[in-house]
A and B are shown apart, each in its own frame.
Chain A
Amino acid sequence: MRAGQQRGPAVRVEYYGSVRLRAGVATDEVRAASVAELLRELVRRRRGLSPDVLAEDGTPRAVLVVLNERHVVDDLSHPLMPGDRVLLANPDVGG
Chain B
Amino acid sequence: MWSCPIPVGDRAERSGCGGYHGRYLVVDLARAAVMVGRFEEATLRAVLGGVGLGTALLAAWSEPGLDPLAPDAPVVIAFSPLVGGPFTTSAKFAVVAKSPLTYRLCDGLCSSAFALAGKRTGFDAIVLRGTASEPALLVITDTEVRLEAAGPLWGLTTTVTEQAVRDRLGPRYEAMVIGPAGEHLVRFATVQHSGRHVGRGGLGAVLGAKRLKAIAVAGDARCRIADPEAAGRLARLLTARSLGPATEKYRLVGTTANLAVLNRLAAMPAYSFRSSQVAEADRLSAPSLRAGAYAERRSCAACTIGCEHRYRTPEGGAVRVEYESLFALGAACGIWDNAILRRALARCDELGLDTISTGVTLAFAMECTRRGWLDSGFRFGAADRLVDWIEEIAHRRGAAGELLADGVRQLARRIGPEAERLAPHVKGLELPGYDPRALPLMAVGLAVTPRGADHNRMTAYEADLARRGDRFLATEADVVRLVELERRAALLDSLIVCKFLRKALEPFYETTARMLAVTTGWPIDADELVAAAERIVGLRRWYNEREGWRPEEDDLPARFFEEPLQTATLGELCLSRAQFLRLRAAYYKAHGWADDGSLPPEWLDRYRIGEIVSRLRGR
Q: Contact residues of A with B, CB < 8 Å?
A: 14, 16-18, 20-21, 26, 52-53, 61-62, 64, 66, 68-75, 85, 87, 89-95
Contact = CB atoms under 8 A, between A and B. Distances in A.
18 contacts: A14-B264, A16-B260, A17-B253, A17-B258, A26-B287, A62-B246, A64-B465, A69-B265, A71-B469, A87-B264, A93-B258, A93-B461, A94-B255, A94-B262, A94-B323, A94-B434, A94-B455, A95-B250
A16 B264 contact: yes
Contacts of B472: 70
A17 B471 contact: no
A72 to B, nearest CB: 6
B248 A62 contact: yes
Nearest to A26: B287
For the complex, would chain B's binding face be called helix, strand, loop or mixed by DSSP majority?
helix
Interface string B195-219: 0000000000000000000000000
A89 B265 CA distance: 11
Contacts, number: 97
A45 to B, nearest CB: 20
B259 to A, nearest CB: 10
Contacts of A66: 265, 465
B471 A70 contact: yes
A69 B263 CA distance: 10
Nearest to A63: B245
A87 B260 CA distance: 11
A93 B465 contact: yes
Contacts of A70: 470-472, 570
Contacts of B461: 93-94
Given A16-B261, A72-B467, A61 B503 contact: no
Given A17-B252, A64-B465, 9 more contacts: A14-B264, A16-B261, A18-B248, A62-B248, A69-B264, A72-B468, A93-B462, A94-B255, A95-B500
Nearest to B322: A95
A53 B249 CA distance: 12
B265 A18 contact: no
A53 B245 contact: yes
Q: Which of A16, A74, A75, A91 has the most CB of B within 10 A?
A: A16
Given A17-B286, A69-B265, A95 B258 contact: yes
A71 B470 contact: yes
Contact of B252 (A18, A64, A74, A94): A18
Interface in B237-276: 244-246, 248-253, 255, 257-258, 260-262, 264-266
Nearest to A87: B264
